[in-house]
């Protein structure tokens, strides 16, 4: 029964365990329990031939349960066991149904996106009315069958087509039917639905209503049946027929599989090819011609071993293999978009340098993991550099705290364990035995941690260093600028509060019974006051007593109804003016304020207080001024600490004292400032952060995570909602990987160190398997387990399970040494095979899953760029230090591992060459072939520069003989001699006279970016001034931002920000390169409740205003079905601010497409403003001469760009 599904075996096991204990006589007409088991075995044997087997098994079990129900009560244990077996069986059936419903090729990332963003959104907002219990209007949204119209009903989703999906149309709220009816979905939730449909609307399963397995049963079932959760056991080495081929134990596992399928291994690669392969694999650089010649000529039997050892000892090895780890760790130098904050992390490079050093030093992998999760809790001794390892946790994308923690859980569990634990954030994992309780146990670990304001130094700086002193001076300068500005704001707000005492008193009376925050804040704004001060005044007055020497009159008047103040005011005023109570005397200054006659209202009382307080404040200001003049002449003079007259001083204390409502801690200033002031303050703060993050003299610090003084006690967030509190859970490890059930709670602080030790334990069945699988992938081009970060139930099984366990067990036995793991793989015959295809083997194994040859692999971006630099002779091998920008001239020659990674604005060249997405853990890179890759080599100034430098290398330029120059170029690039055909081809290419002509003219983009004014009377753009400065992927007025005169004007790929007023609206102009009818479609989006929104218009130079509208905290469809244009006509996308220009950032990146050509068919028929957006074109490089063009051609060859 080797092919029998595990869930059937589980059902059989449950039955067989109780068969021997059954002693009751069977009911009439029924067989014994033993016959039930026999029927079960018969059904199992028929399983492969009949899809009805699960039904037969279920019927067998149900009959047994029914019979047991009719027997004595003593059979209860038997009933329970039978029901457990039935649940196991039905769970297996559910798995089979889900497998049939989901295509095998479903992208795991799409499945994860659905489980994290879409299913919770539908559950929270839709299932109550359109779910399993109720289907209003006949609509159901909780099953794949209902959503996609598989049951004959109208489909609600059109995969890949959001506009054609009814679900998207009704949730957008721009049609007759709007869902949810109570209001629009949050923008992030709606966009997640749109993205899900665009991705293809993957719905991993339908969930029939069956009795689910309990979490305990799921755990037991998974531990017993799933290969990845079983302990790693070193298997016996298999016997093979072709013993001479065996060089390593690895070869036995590979060869046994091949012999089982009748395939022979491929012959070894030639020596030059093998050296190139192993050199790229270990250091990411090509061998030199001399190294190839030396290896080919070395007759010693250990020549190859010596090469492997030399490469493993090279510092270049750590740079190569660190980059693979940085993909897993979603390394980036920036935080991603965080509003109004400098996006650059201050010391991300210290983590990257730590990883490089760890690989070079062959730090044991278990220690490597311990340091990355809990270096601060280990004893590092005098060497503090391991603290930098905590960048593994801290260098993810920033945003909401819960999302930061989710990112950390994801990178730890997918990266180190190969489990998609984050899928249990909103509900128990749909496939793996990971309940939400496990997710929130880990959540509690990371929620119990904090990042310190001051990061620890990795080593003390040299005080004599000039760059360090320059850093200190620059840091002091920018911090002083920020402090001065903050102090000026603080003084300004305190002055306001002390001058507006009467207004605050009066308004606090008006809002005395207001409890809601919105009307309270609105009342403050309408009076030109600040809600924070008003709240302080209201709280302060509530704490006063009726006998307060200063505020007793106010309290007495405020206690009266308005109509009572008019009738009783004169009597009250006279009593307070007399101040005749010797036990509770009134401050004379306040008493005198009530002597003058008046028509008494609460406003009049506030004015009397305002006058009394203002008089005392003037006395204090005059006193300070006079003493300041004295202090200017006499440095020993001391400023006064208060007014000499006690009554005046007590009033002054009500204005200046620590508990005064007119006082304000400096740290609260930011809560009072407006948008423009906040922008200036943010710029000053970002200047400080930029110095700390980029100044070359700054001392290195570690991006650490520390335990909080008081650990967070976690609980389950029901449906992922923090406000929906579920059961409390302890901080502990995943149950499915724990020896104890339940796992022991973490007791040491946050539990991070205990978590790290559980992950890095030799008994953990996943950690070693996951790592050796990743290393294998980079040596063979494909892993043993293709789902490298998903070893769960939905992951693919290993192609060579015994080999995987052999590697994992040996890896742990050899001290978790990654270099020893490399060595064992690289010295195998399997690795050394030729990559040449063999038709007879390919017919039997077209995907080469049996590894009968090596896989051909293209160089990744880092190896490609480094190879170009090595070929040009310019490669800079300086190690470590802050990241460098590699995409802008003058081009750095540093290795690509040191390039700056910006997760928010990743350069196009990195995307074109499949660079890892730094937004999340990246287990493997995509492999695409797109035209932009060839265009990079043809047009990139960097590639052209390397071609020119290659020809200028002394060994190439020193010879004038064309044949010898071609020969030397082949030595450098291909480490071999050119063939006669290649030499002849080069000669004919270089003699082509057309190679010396001028370059073709550059085609200019149809888009322009500027600002100006819309004349609504003429319905035309009245003025247009092009923006002349491009910085941070945005067009702006100049280098100062915001511009001192025009404000926050900018345009970027997604949208922008208008200027101070409608005369300075931002304008994205499209100049038509065609003649014909065009359509226009987009969405104007203004996010956030702050500000008063933006107004916009689409203006044609031929027809005037085609569309106009406005947006405030919403999304507006902007659509023109047809308009006629001729070449040179313009369509202007104009966006103006509201009454104020604060909080006016917007998104508007429409699409224009040709629907009816005029005189001729256009070459291009669609313009996407987001994708077309660009800065100023770089200057055209000097054209290459024929030799430069020949070098450029050689740099583009597959021989250079592929490992084999």
* Whether residues 49 and 154 fall in one domain: no
Q: Of 176-185, 706-715, 943-952, 1156-1165, which gets the smallest average pLDDT? A: 1156-1165
Residues 6+ apart with CB under 8 A from 693: 342, 344, 345, 346, 347
* Whether residues 927 and 972 fall in one domain: yes
**Confidence at residue 1143, expressed as pLDDT on a 0 to 100 scale:** 84
Torsions phi, psi for 709 (to 5 deg):
-60, -40
Q: Please state, in angstroms and rounded to a whole number, the distance separating the CA atoms of residues 121 and 114.
A: 10
Q: Please state, in angstroms and rounded to a whole number, the distance separating the CA atoms of residues 632 and 259.
A: 98
Percent of the chain with pLDDT over 70: 88
Q: Please state, in angstroms and rounded to a whole number, the distance separating the CA atoms of residues 183 and 188.
A: 14
**Confidence at residue 202, expressed as pLDDT on a 0 to 100 scale:** 82
3-state secondary structure of 490: helix
**Confidence at residue 83, expressed as pLDDT on a 0 to 100 scale:** 52
- Choose one of 101, 123, 157: the last residue of a domain: 101
- In a domain, residue 318? The reply is no
Which CATH number covers residue 1080? 2.60.120
Residues 6+ apart with CB under 8 A from 885: 892, 899, 900
* Whether residues 972 and 1029 fall in one domain: no
**Confidence at residue 539, expressed as pLDDT on a 0 to 100 scale:** 92
Torsions phi, psi for 1094 (to 5 deg):
-130, 155
CA 122-125-128 angle, 5° bins? 95
Tokens 């750095």, residue located: 892
**Confidence at residue 887, expressed as pLDDT on a 0 to 100 scale:** 93
Q: Does residue 895 surpass a pLDDT of 50?
A: yes
DSSP state of 546: T
Q: Does residue 187 surpass a pLDDT of 80?
A: no
- In a domain, residue 467? The reply is no
**Confidence at residue 60, expressed as pLDDT on a 0 to 100 scale:** 54
pLDDT digits (tens, 9 = 90+) for 299-315: 999 999 999 999 999 99
Question: Which of the two residues, 1084 and 166, has the higher pLDDT score?
Answer: 1084
* Whether residues 900 and 983 fall in one domain: yes
* Whether residues 1084 and 1138 fall in one domain: yes
- In a domain, residue 364? The reply is no
- In a domain, residue 856? The reply is no
* Whether residues 935 and 1059 fall in one domain: no
Q: Of 623-637, 742-756, 1025-1039, 1066-1080, which gets the smallest average pLDDT? A: 623-637
- In a domain, residue 312? The reply is no
pLDDT digits (tens, 9 = 90+) for 33-85: 445 445 554 544 444 333 344 444 555 555 555 555 544 444 454 445 455 55
What b/e sequence results for 807-830 when a residue is b if at least 16 CB atoms lie within 10 Å of its CB, and e otherwise? bbbbbbeeebbbbbbbbbbbbbbb
Residues 6+ apart with CB under 8 A from 990: 962, 1186, 1187, 1190
Confidence band (pLDDT; 50, 70, 90) for 212?
A: low
**Confidence at residue 875, expressed as pLDDT on a 0 to 100 scale:** 98
Please say whether the beta carbons of 134 and 126 come within 8 A: no
Instruction: Decide the pairing of beta strands 1166-1168 and 1151-1157.
Output: antiparallel
Calculate helix-pair angle for 1186-1195, 962-974, nearest 10 degrees. Answer: 30
Query: What HEC string does 379-392 produce?
Result: CCCCCCHHHHHHHH
Look up the domain containing 655 and give its range: 500-664
Ordered alpha helix ranges (H), 1047-1185: 1169-1172
Residues 6+ apart with CB under 8 A from 746: 445, 730, 731, 732, 733, 754, 755
Q: Does residue 6 surpass a pLDDT of 50?
A: no
Contacts 24+ apart (CB under 8 A), 427-432: 427/119, 427/120, 427/123, 427/719, 427/720, 428/215, 429/792, 430/115, 430/204, 430/205, 430/207, 431/98, 431/204, 431/792, 431/793, 431/794, 432/222, 432/736, 432/792, 432/793, 432/794
* Whether residues 520 and 652 fall in one domain: yes
* Whether residues 46 and 161 fall in one domain: no
Torsions phi, psi for 881 (to 5 deg):
95, 175
**Confidence at residue 1158, expressed as pLDDT on a 0 to 100 scale:** 53
Q: Please state, in angstroms and rounded to a whole number, the distance separating the CA atoms of residues 130 and 137.
A: 9
Please say whether the beta carbons of 880 and 349 come within 8 A: yes
Q: Please state, in angstroms and rounded to a whole number, the distance separating the CA atoms of residues 530 and 725.
A: 35
**Confidence at residue 209, expressed as pLDDT on a 0 to 100 scale:** 33
- In a domain, residue 119? The reply is yes
**Confidence at residue 41, expressed as pLDDT on a 0 to 100 scale:** 47
Q: Does residue 17 surpass a pLDDT of 50?
A: no
- In a domain, residue 311? The reply is no
- Choose one of 145, 173, 207: the last residue of a domain: 207
User: Which residues partner with 1076 through β-bridges?
Assistant: 1125, 1157
Q: Please state, in angstroms and rounded to a whole number, the distance separating the CA atoms of residues 681 and 300.
A: 69
Mean pLDDT score of the chain: 87
Residues 6+ apart with CB under 8 A from 1086: 1093, 1094, 1111, 1112, 1113, 1114, 1144, 1145, 1146
- In a domain, residue 1046? The reply is yes
Instruction: Decide the pairing of beta strands 1094-1100 and 1104-1111.
Output: antiparallel
Q: Please state, in angstroms and rounded to a whole number, the distance separating the CA atoms of residues 662 and 535.
A: 11
Task: Measure the CA dihedral 1132/1138/1139/1143, to 10°.
Answer: -120
CA-closest candidate to residue 941, choices 991, 891, 878, 1008: 891
* Whether residues 960 and 875 fall in one domain: yes
Query: What HEC string does 762-813 produce?
Result: CCCCCHHHHHHHHHHHHHHCCCCCCCCCCCCCCCCCCCCHHHHHHHHHHHHH
* Whether residues 988 and 925 fall in one domain: yes
- Choose one of 664, 688, 714: the last residue of a domain: 664
* Whether residues 918 and 1017 fall in one domain: no
Residues 6+ apart with CB under 8 A from 369: 416, 756, 759, 760, 767
**Confidence at residue 406, expressed as pLDDT on a 0 to 100 scale:** 96
Tokens 């209007």, residue located: 137
* Whether residues 1128 and 992 fall in one domain: no
CA-closest candidate to residue 923, choices 734, 785, 760, 764: 785
pLDDT digits (tens, 9 = 90+) for 1001-1026: 778 899 999 999 999 999 999 999 99
pLDDT digits (tens, 9 = 90+) for 489-543: 999 999 999 999 999 999 999 998 888 888 899 999 898 999 999 999 999 999 9
pTM listed for this prediction = 0.71
CA-closest candidate to residue 235, choices 661, 802, 769, 745: 802
Q: Does residue 89 surpass a pLDDT of 90?
A: no
User: Which residues partner with 393 through β-bridges?
Assistant: none
- Domains in the chain, number: 5
Both tokens assigned to 489: 């704001």
**Confidence at residue 121, expressed as pLDDT on a 0 to 100 scale:** 79
């Amino acid at each position: 029964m080797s092919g029998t599904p595990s869930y059937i075996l589980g059902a059989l096991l449950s039955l067989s365990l109780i068969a021997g204990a059954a002693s009751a006589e069977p009911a009439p007409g029924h067989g014994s329990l033993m016959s039930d088991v026999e029927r079960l075995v018969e059904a199992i044997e028929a399983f492969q031939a009949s899809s009805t087997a699960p039904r037969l098994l279920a019927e067998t079990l149900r009959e047994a349960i029914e019979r047991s129900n009719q027997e004595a009560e003593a059979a209860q244990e038997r009933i329970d066991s039978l029901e457990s077996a039935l649940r196991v069986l039905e769970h297996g059936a559910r798995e089979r149904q889900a497998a049939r419903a989901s295509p095998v090729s479903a992208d795991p990332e799409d499945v994860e996106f659905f489980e994290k963003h879409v299913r919770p959104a539908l559950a929270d907002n839709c299932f109550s009315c359109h779910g399993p219990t109720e289907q209003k209007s006949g609509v159901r949204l909780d099953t794949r069958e209902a959503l996609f119209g598989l049951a004959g009903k109208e489909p609600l989703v059109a995969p890949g087509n959001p506009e054609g999906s009814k679900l998207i149309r009704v949730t957008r709220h721009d049609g007759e039917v709007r869902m949810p009816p109570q209001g629009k979905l949050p923008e992030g939730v709606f966009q997640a639905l749109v993205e899900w449909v665009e991705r293809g609307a993957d719905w991993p399963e339908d969930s029939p209503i069956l009795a689910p397995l309990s979490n305990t049963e799921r755990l037991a079932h998974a531990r017993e049946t799933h290969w990845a959760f079983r302990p790693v056991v070193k298997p016996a080495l298999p016997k093979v027929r072709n013993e001479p081929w065996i060089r390593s134990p690895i070869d036995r596992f590979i060869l046994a599989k091949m012999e089982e399928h009748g395939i022979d291994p491929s012959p070894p690669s030639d020596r030059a090819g093998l050296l190139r392969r192993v050199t790229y694999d270990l250091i990411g650089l090509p061998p030199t011609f001399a190294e190839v010649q030396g290896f080919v000529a070395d007759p010693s039997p250990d020549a190859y071993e010596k090469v492997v050892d030399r490469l493993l000892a090279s510092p270049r090895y750590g740079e190569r293999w660190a980059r693979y780890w940085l993909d897993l760790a979603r390394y980036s130098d920036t935080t991603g978009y965080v509003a109004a904050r400098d996006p650059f992390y201050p010391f991300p490079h210290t983590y990257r340098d730590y990883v490089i050093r760890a690989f070079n030093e062959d730090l044991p992998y278990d220690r490597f993991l311990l340091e990355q999760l809990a270096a601060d809790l280990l004893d590092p001794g005098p060497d503090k550099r391991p603290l930098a390892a905590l960048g593994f946790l801290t260098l993810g994308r920033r945003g909401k705290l819960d999302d930061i923690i989710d990112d950390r859980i994801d990178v730890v569990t997918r990266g180190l364990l190969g489990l998609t634990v984050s899928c249990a954030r909103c509900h128990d994992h749909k496939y793996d035995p990971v309940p939400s309780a496990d997710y929130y146990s880990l959540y509690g670990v990371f929620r119990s941690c904090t990042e310190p304001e001051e990061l620890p130094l990795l080593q003390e700086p040299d005080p004599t260093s000039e760059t360090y002193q320059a850093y200190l001076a620059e840091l002091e300068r920018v911090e002083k600028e920020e402090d001065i500005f903050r102090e000026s704001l603080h003084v300004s707000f305190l002055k306001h509060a002390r001058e507006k005492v009467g207004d605050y008193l009066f308004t606090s009376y008006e809002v005395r019974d207001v409890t809601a925050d919105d009307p309270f804040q609105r009342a403050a704004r309408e009076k030109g006051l600040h809600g924070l001060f008003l709240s302080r005044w209201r709280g302060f007055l509530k704490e006063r007593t009726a006998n307060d020497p200063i505020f007793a009159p106010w309290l007495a008047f405020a206690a009266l109804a308005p109509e009572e103040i008019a009738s009783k005011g004169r009597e009250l005023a006279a009593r307070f003016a007399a101040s005749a109570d010797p036990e509770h005397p009134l401050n004379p200054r306040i008493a005198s304020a009530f002597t003058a006659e008046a028509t008494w209202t609460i406003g009049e009382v506030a004015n009397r207080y305002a006058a009394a307080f203002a008089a005392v404040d003037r006395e204090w200001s005059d006193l300070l001024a006079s003493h300041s003049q004295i202090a200017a002449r006499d440095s020993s003079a001391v400023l006064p600490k208060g007014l000499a007259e006690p009554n005046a001083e007590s009033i002054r204390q009500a204005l200046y004292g620590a508990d005064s409502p007119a006082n304000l801690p400096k740290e609260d200033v930011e809560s009072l400032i407006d948008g423009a002031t906040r922008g200036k303050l943010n710029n000053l703060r970002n200047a400080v952060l930029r110095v700390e993050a980029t100044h070359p003299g700054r001392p290195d610090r570690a991006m650490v995570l520390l335990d909080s003084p008081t650990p967070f006690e976690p609980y389950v967030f029901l449906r992922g909602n923090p406000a929906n509190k579920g059961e409390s859970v302890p901080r502990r490890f995943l149950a499915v990987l724990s020896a104890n059930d339940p796992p022991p709670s973490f007791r040491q602080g946050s539990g991070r160190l205990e978590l790290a030790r559980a992950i890095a334990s030799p008994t953990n069945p996943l950690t070693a398997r996951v790592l050796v699988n990743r290393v294998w992938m980079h040596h063979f081009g494909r892993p043993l387990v293709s789902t490298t970060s998903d070893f769960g139930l939905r992951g693919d099984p290993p192609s060579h399970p015994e080999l995987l366990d052999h590697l994992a067990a040996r890896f742990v036995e050899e001290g978790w040494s990654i270099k020893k793991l490399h060595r064992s793989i690289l010295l195998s015959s399997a690795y050394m095979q030729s990559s040449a295809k063999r038709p007879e083997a390919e017919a039997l194994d077209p995907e080469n899953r049996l590894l009968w040859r090596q896989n051909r692999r293209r160089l990744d971006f880092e190896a490609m760029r480094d190879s170009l630099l090595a070929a040009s002779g310019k490669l800079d091998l300086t190690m470590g230090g802050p990241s460098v920008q590699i995409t802008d001239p003058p081009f750095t020659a540093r290795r690509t591992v040191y390039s700056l990674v910006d997760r928010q604005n990743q350069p196009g060249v990195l995307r074109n060459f499949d660079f890892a997405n730094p937004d999340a853990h990246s287990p493997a890179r995509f492999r695409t072939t797109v035209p932009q890759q060839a265009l990079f080599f043809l047009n990139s100034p960097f590639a052209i520069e390397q071609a020119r430098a290659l020809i200028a290398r002394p060994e190439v330029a020193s010879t004038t003989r064309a044949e010898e120059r071609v020969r030397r170029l082949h030595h450098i690039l291909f480490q071999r001699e050119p063939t006669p055909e290649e030499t002849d081809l080069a000669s004919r290419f270089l003699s082509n006279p057309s190679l010396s002509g001028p370059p073709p003219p550059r085609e200019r983009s149809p888009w322009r970016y500027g600002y100006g004014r819309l004349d609504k009377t003429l319905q035309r753009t009245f003025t247009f001034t092009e923006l002349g400065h491009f910085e941070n992927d945005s067009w702006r007025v100049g280098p100062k931002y915001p511009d001192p005169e025009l404000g926050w004007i900018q345009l970027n790929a997604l949208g922008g920000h208008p200027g101070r007023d409608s005369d300075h609206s931002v304008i994205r102009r499209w100049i038509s390169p065609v003649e014909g009818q065009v359509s226009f479609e987009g969405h104007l989006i203004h996010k956030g409740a702050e500000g008063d929104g933006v107004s916009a218009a689409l203006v044609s130079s031929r027809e005037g205003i085609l569309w106009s509208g406005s947006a405030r905290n919403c999304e507006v469809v902007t659509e023109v079905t047809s308009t006629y244009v001729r070449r040179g006509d313009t369509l202007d996308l104009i966006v103006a601010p509201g009454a104020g220009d604060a909080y006016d950032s917007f998104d508007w990146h429409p699409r224009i497409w040709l629907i009816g050509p005029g005189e001729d068919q256009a070459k291009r028929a669609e313009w996407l403003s987001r994708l077309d957006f660009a800065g100023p074109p770089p200057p055209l490089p000097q054209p290459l001469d024929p030799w430069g063009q020949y070098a450029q051609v050689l740099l583009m060859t597959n021989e250079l760009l592929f490992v084999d």
